[in-house]
A and B are shown apart, each in its own frame.
Chain A
Amino acid sequence: MVILLQITLLSGYTTKFMKRRGFLKLLLTILGSIALILAGYPTLRFFSPAKKKAKTERLVLSKAELLRDNVKEVTFDNTPAIVINVPGKGLIALSRVCTHLGCLVSYEEERNILLCPCHAGIYDLEGNVISGPPPLPLPNYPLSIEGDKVIIG
């Protein structure tokens, strides 16, 4: 407020009081500006999201179940993901978040593809873009097999 008034009055109305109180004005302007800048940082931080620890940093799934169903939708690292048994390649874990505008892709059994319902982006089962607007392939998650367990992450 101090600064706003200062700006409004910058070019006019100097009185003997302004001269006499120049120091106080300067001090208030500097202190006011510092206070505003200092308030800016917590404000900015307040509106930025708090750091959330991922609920699932390491996801353990049953290998037998995955091989039987071929496709399973899961949540990994707070993100919807999909684990697919790709013929000839084995199990692959992909993010379901479409790289175009963030809708979730789903497995289309008839065409054996991953389809984004929003703008018809089509990915193959390894996450590569086949057609449509997505600019990038779907992100891949590290997957390992230990005995009868499948571990993502």
Chain B
Amino acid sequence: MARIRNWIETRIGLDEIVKSQLTEYRVPPNVNIFYALGFVAIVGFIIQIITGFFLLVHYIPHHEHAFRSVQDIMNRVNFGWFFRLIHVVGSNLLVAVAFIHMLSVFFMGSYKKPRELTWISGILILFMTLAFCLSGYLLPWSQLSYWATTIVTTMPTAIPVAGDFITRILRGGQSVSGSTLTMFFAFHVGFIPFLTLIFIGVHIFLVRRTGISSPPFGPSGKTLNSPDSFEHDSHPGGYPFYPYFFMKDAMMVMVYLAVMFFIIAFMPMLFLPETTNSPADPYETPAHIKPEWYFLAPYQMLKIIPNKILGISLQGIIVALFLFWPLLDVKEERDTLKRPFLLSVFILLLLTWIALTLWGHYS
């Protein structure tokens, strides 16, 4: 073992990498468990990739076979149900983790100078995650897949002039069909993963380059952090990433896995309603078609705003505000608790989102 280790060491200098990237790479002394969510999201993403590869072995991306192949994965393939449920439950948990990660970063003001680009790349990863969910939703070719995709791809028709064209491009034709399925499949396993990996790479690079931000509260918390020239936040008084912070990361991964396997064991059909068990029928829309929980708020918003263009534009503005928020909020104060107005807006928005989600679910 030692000889193999030496052989590798003399060739690639692993010790130096471990030292500089793990044991001597320091995190602020007052980090909390929310700081582990980025790592949890990456592990969740890796789990999605691995189970996705597994599903590729048996999935047939053709409108005549897709539904049957997914049913076979669930009922005939050895442990097919297991890997599909990990993929299904994992996708929902990943969205939840990404949301909480974003909220905690927002709450702790970690998006502020010099970390604006880190925030923007993070939001782009969140968009990619949602694009993954949207494209993956159609693949089982069930009634729910078909009609949820029909609804989502109809939304751009509200855009003046180019709306119909965008919808046709998204569907690969006039309506959702076999062409849509193969296109969504290609996006789900090819284009989107490629872009996501690039964004994740950029995100991690930025996090490491600027150093992990300190929580703004507590006695050792930094509240002002606005250097005029580039400065690596090295946290000389902080703790080593390995093993101190890695333990937190690993523990949170265990929590993530525990939640995932709890759902798989005790609520396996939580994310698979009845309409996922009937094959897509382009001639019959089932009653109560609803998107996944993370799309319920925008879905309900579109329902209650009477004007389609207004509804879609409003959502576009919200998305743009989120993406470029660090460029708009240039105040130096990072502690949200010391900014009552921002805190009130933050809580109000969160409550509105929860209310719209619940309204969408029960309406």
Contact = CB atoms under 8 A, between A and B. Distances in A.
A28 B254 contact: yes
B257 A35 contact: yes
Given A17-B239, A46-B80, A50-B77, A12 B15 contact: yes
Interface stretch (A2-10, A63-71, A126-134): A2-10
Nearest to A41: B79
A45 interface: yes
A35 B261 CA distance: 11
Interface in B83-109: 83
Q: Which 3 A-B residue pairs are closest in the complex by CB-CB distance? A: A42-B79, A45-B78, A13-B23
Contacts of B80: 46
Interface stretch (B148-156, B213-221, B242-250): B242-250
A8 B19 CA distance: 11
Interface residues of B, number: 29
A89 interface: no
A17 B15 contact: no
Contact of B79 (A1, A18, A45): A45
A45 B54 CA distance: 12
Nearest to B55: A46
B57 A17 contact: no
A11 B240 contact: no
B83 A2 contact: no
Contact of B240 (A2, A8, A15, A47): A15
A42 B83 contact: yes
Contacts of A18: 243
A120 interface: no
Interface residues of A, number: 25
A31 interface: yes
B83 A46 contact: yes
A1 B43 CA distance: 10
A55 B336 CA distance: 68
Classify the interface of chain B: helix, strand, loop or mixed: helix
A15 B245 CA distance: 13
Contact of A11 (B5, B22, B83): B5
B251 interface: yes
Interface in B38-91: 43, 54, 57, 76-80, 82-83
Contacts of A24: 247, 251
B2 interface: yes
A28 B14 contact: no
B18 interface: yes
A2 B250 contact: yes
B2 A11 contact: yes
B21 to A, nearest CB: 11
B247 A25 contact: yes
B78 A48 contact: yes
Contacts of B18: 8-9, 12-13
Contacts of A13: 18-19, 23
A21 interface: yes
Nearest to A17: B244
A81 B268 CA distance: 44
Contacts of A32: 250
A35 B247 CA distance: 17
Contacts of A31: 254
Contacts of A12: 15, 18
B79 A28 contact: no
A1 B247 CA distance: 12
6 contacts: A11-B5, A13-B18, A17-B240, A32-B250, A46-B57, A46-B80
Given A15-B23, A28-B250, A28-B251, A46 B77 contact: yes
Q: Which of B239, B247, B257 has the most CB of A within 10 A?
A: B247
